[in-house]
């Protein structure tokens, strides 16, 4: 089952629902995805796009937490559809980073108002400075749009810049976009802080 988890290196609970990058050691192929669950003995990840990982594949894994990145070598114990279960072939090491944590979420909805045209979206991840969304129409990179975010603990109105937008592989008519929130006023900043903290506390 590989090397045991070394609790002096990093707390695995910090990385639940965070973004992950995986590199297969045999051919250097890169995969991206999200940490579903992680504990002292194994990590379960959901892979974006095609998943051709196989049992006994060795992977170098990075999980991007809040101000810290976890790094470890993992061994594929199980692979089914988009999900892989890894045992630890090395201890988890914690590397300080300035990168903002992005947390996977699925319960936040919103809409974009672009020149009077309204487009609904689902929030799929949040960070302190922005959101990742899924929508049914493409957005123009660099465009500034009005955004309304509907969450059960707070409603948020702001503007945001479209940082990227790309079609989702295997989901025709769906697009994945990243929005960087522009400077918020005091009230909306407080509301956004509550939304982000709620997502972190749910991890």
Give residue 202's pLDDT band: very low, low, confident or very high (50, 70, 90).
low
- Position 199 scores a pLDDT of 76
Mean pLDDT of all residues belonging to the chain:
87
Q: How many Cα neighbours within 13 Å face the side chain of 155?
A: 2
Residue 61, both tokens: 């894994």
Q: Give the H/E segment covering residue 188.
A: helix 186-201
Q: Which whole number is the average pLDDT over 54-70?
A: 92
Give residue 100's pLDDT band: very low, low, confident or very high (50, 70, 90).
confident
pLDDT of 186 higher than 60: yes
pLDDT of 153 higher than 60: yes
CB under 8 Å to 80, separation ≥6 — which residues? none
The dihedral built from the CA positions of residue 174, 178, 184 and 189, taken in this order, carries a sign that is positive
pLDDT of 1 higher than 50: no
Q: What is the pLDDT of residues 122-147, one digit of tens each?
A: 999 998 889 999 999 999 999 999 99
The dihedral built from the CA positions of residue 51, 64, 203 and 100, taken in this order, carries a sign that is negative
CATH 3.30.1540.10 is held by the domain 12-96: no
Q: Which whole number is the average pLDDT over 102-110?
A: 84
pLDDT of 149 higher than 80: yes
Residue intervals of the chain classified under CATH 2.40.10.220 are 12-96, 103-201
The CATH class of 103-201 is: mainly beta
Give residue 7's pLDDT band: very low, low, confident or very high (50, 70, 90).
very low
**Whole-prediction pTM:** 0.66
């Amino acid at each position: 089952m590989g090397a045991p988890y070394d609790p002096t290196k990093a707390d695995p609970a910090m990385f639940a629902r965070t973004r992950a990058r995986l590199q297969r050691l045999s051919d250097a192929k890169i995969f991206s995805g999200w940490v579903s669950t992680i504990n002292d003995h194994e990590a379960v990840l959901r892979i974006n796009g095609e998943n051709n990982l196989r049992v006994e594949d060795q992977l170098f894994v990075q999980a991007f937490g809040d101000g810290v990145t976890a790094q470890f070598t993992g061994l594929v114990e199980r692979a089914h559809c988009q999900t892989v279960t890894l045992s630890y072939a090395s201890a988890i090491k914690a590397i300080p980073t300035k990168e903002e944590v992005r947390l996977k979420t699925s319960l936040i909805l919103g809409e974009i108002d672009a020149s009077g045209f309204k487009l609904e979206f689902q929030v799929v991840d949040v960070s302190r400075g922005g959101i990742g969304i899924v929508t049914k129409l493409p957005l123009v990179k660099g465009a500034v749009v009005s955004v309304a975010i509907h969450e059960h603990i707070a409603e948020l109105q702001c503007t945001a810049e479209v940082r990227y937008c790309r079609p989702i592989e295997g989901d025709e008519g769906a697009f994945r976009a990243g929005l960087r929130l522009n400077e918020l006023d005091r009230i909306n900043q407080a509301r956004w802080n509550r939304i982000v903290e709620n997502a972190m506390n749910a991890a």
